[in-house]
Chain A
Amino acid sequence: MGQIEWAMWANEQALASGLILITGGIVATAGRFTQWYFGAYSIVAGVFVCLLEYPRGKRKKGSTMERWGQKYMTAVVKLFGPFTRNYYVRAVLHLLLSVPAGFLLATILGTACLAIASGIYLLAAVRGEQWTPIEPKPRERPQIGGTIKQPPSNPPPRPPAEARKKPSEEEAAVAAGGPPGGPQVNPIPVTDEVV
């Protein structure tokens, strides 16, 4: 049980409650019940909650499934910084939003569901979870010719790698090795035997 990330479940619940609030609000306003303005409030609150909860937060371990088209809302939600990152804020916000809808029969279910979501968010906040946006991975552009290294500068036979060090390193590391890089200097003088 220690590995459960409650925030994801709270997010699903809040999204569902938002939809329930919208539906209840539509029923209340269309039917022109008494106190129908609560229905109108419920629609607005429902839309706000849905938009806030649409982008799914990133999981701590493993990959997270994104909702379709969530990157647009991610940009907006990210702007609010700590207000959307912190789950305590979200818990309190959802609780406050759910209260006015409880006065009307048609939207009372939305209240109950949003209150439960707020409770689970509180649990997630207590366990230290945070909302991190899912960033799109920067596409690595394929480097054309990046793996082609410099061709060797000396013709064969080439001395081993230690001998091919740069002159600055050679002063520092007085390693035994062949002659430094540069034009080939033959260790044994080669004479031309053509007579």
Chain B
Amino acid sequence: MLSAVTDLGSIESTVSKNLPVVSIHQLGLCLSRASASVLNLNCSLILLPMCRTLLAYLRGSQKVPSRRTRRLLDKSRTFHITCGVTICIFSGVHVAAHLVNALNFSVNYSEDFVELNAARYRDEDPRKLLFTTVPGLTGVCMVVVLFLMITASTYAIRVSNYDIFWYTHNLFFVFYMLLTLHVSGGLLKYQTNLDTHPPGCISLNRTSSQNISLPEYFSEHFHEPFPEGFSKPAEFTQHKFVKICMEEPRFQANFPQTWLWISGPLCLYCAERLYRYIRSNKPVTIISVISHPSDVMEIRMVKENFKARPGQYITLHCPSVSALENHPFTLTMCPTETKATFGVHLKIVGDWTERFRDLLLPPSSQDSEILPFIQSRNYPKLYIDGPFGSPFEESLNYEVSLCVAGGIGVTPFASILNTLLDDWKPYKLRRLYFIWVCRDIQSFRWFADLLCMLHNKFWQENRPDYVNIQLYLSQTDGIQKIIGEKYHALNSRLFIGRPRWKLLFDEIAKYNRGKTVGVFCCGPNSLSKTLHKLSNQNNSYGTRFEYNKESFS
């Protein structure tokens, strides 16, 4: 509509000279409107995968019965990144198109339709247009914010300096505020009195120099929508039937559609953040802190009304360590009906975990063996946020599951094993293959007790093949070959060297013919890629391997 009316204005001044410029004008406007629509959609969708509590609720609720739908939720981070990249590309298109428009608005200033012009006078410097109008200024600021956010979100920065990524990404709120102001500028207008001044009507009090011959005039408008009363352009030239303008055209700004698009997800996201803030405002009570070999610390705590499913993770926030940082850790023990204690295992890498450990465990006793410190020392205040969902929750919903853990990646599976120790009958799982690969033999002691207890329990219940444990020591100096004297069951299941995945997959396929096996991996990327590739290969036993992926940084 706008193109039509602007065309009218530019054509009425001069006809032939404006043709190339008019077509650029149309292209620029069309491109900017099209990219704006794409941006509307993406800016609204990008917030949805970040509503993590909502996604965790959907994952666990009965309303999402299909496994395929739940697997879609695993890809929420990838979806967010895709929307982000799309926003980036189409912002580029939008900015380029508007820069061209700014130039055209100043060059093709129309005296006839003063309200339609974005420029205030002819040949106004387009840079002034950019910086002194509300849409222009907010647009420039938005591009700067987007530039900061995107350059800090690359994979290299996320892996090396996560803080930069996190702090700049919180600028998204500024971006959204600027966006709501940007579309309120009222640049796009539509005509309100179409019946009294239809496009293509002739005004009786125009000077003769501005009157153009009719056939030429109407052949320009063949691509526009016509109001009722006119049917085909051929009819114009044939019948020369035109309407006379009753009054001057009146224009009104379009209602900014963007507000409708972004208000829903933005309100949803704000509501979720508020809910998470209220929920995490009460500190937890730390019951015990246990030091494990290979730089791992276990924290057991309680919090009222805290419920979690096995495989979920929480984020820890300790103001005494750092006022702003939140760090995610998978729950290794979930609260049950009988026991409200839950716990996490943390590996000490990086400054936050080091400072946290120094606060909880006095430095003198950090090298000692596994000893629970049940003393009334003053633990710092600890706040948790969560629990949030993860793909590992699905391992209890397969009939057969293969869980592969690399090093500290065993934590999500530890909560699964704890749940099975508690009660295995309510779940669909009937056979679990548990493979744990570590570099250091002392690492196995983190969960050696749990594994032995589980093994004994299933042996007593006459289901020895429920859990099949294989432990691998990938690097060895040949000296220590056993985990500990009392862990007989584990020592006989300890292998030196890396697992041979193809043989393992063939064995599992052979013993579970025709079934669907869920494959879960928590470890380094190379391991994950190998397993993904093997899961997608066909085998001769008709067994299907479904790979469930968790994406970390």
Contacts and interface: CB of A to CB of B under 8 A. Distances in A.
Interface in A124-167: none
A64 B160 contact: yes
B504 interface: no
Interface residues of A, number: 27
A1 interface: yes
A12 B103 contact: no
Q: Which residue, B155, B160, B164, has most C-beta atoms of chain A within 10 A?
A: B160
Interface string B141-164: 001100110111011110111011
Given A27-B96, A56-B156, A105-B126, A13 B151 contact: yes
Interface stretch (A2-10, A37-45, A183-191): A2-10
Q: Which residue, A5, A6, A12, A13, has most C-beta atoms of chain B within 10 A?
A: A12
Contacts of A13: 147-148, 151
Interface residues of B, number: 28
A106 interface: yes
Interface in B133-189: 140, 143-144, 147-148, 150-152, 154-157, 159-161, 163-164
A113 interface: yes
Given A8-B157, A12-B156, A65-B156, A105 B130 contact: yes
B127 A108 contact: yes
Contacts, number: 66
A59 B103 contact: no
A89 interface: no
Contacts of B384: none
A20 B151 CA distance: 12
Given A105-B126, A108-B127, A4 B159 contact: no
A4 B159 CA distance: 12
Q: Which residue, B144, B151, B155, B157, has most C-beta atoms of chain A within 10 A?
A: B151
A64 B160 CA distance: 8
A124 B96 CA distance: 32
Given A16-B150, A109-B95, A116-B148, A3 B351 contact: yes
A81 interface: no
B212 interface: no
Given A33-B103, A56-B156, A105-B103, A4 B130 contact: no
Nearest to B103: A105
A9 B99 contact: no
B157 A12 contact: yes
Contacts of B126: 105
Interface of A: 1-6, 8-9, 12-13, 16, 23, 27, 31, 33, 56, 59, 62, 64-65, 105-106, 108-109, 112-113, 116
16 contacts: A4-B161, A4-B163, A4-B164, A8-B160, A12-B156, A13-B148, A13-B151, A27-B96, A64-B160, A105-B99, A105-B126, A105-B127, A105-B130, A108-B127, A108-B130, A113-B147
Interface of B: 92, 95-96, 99-100, 102-103, 126-127, 130, 140, 143-144, 147-148, 150-152, 154-157, 159-161, 163-164, 351
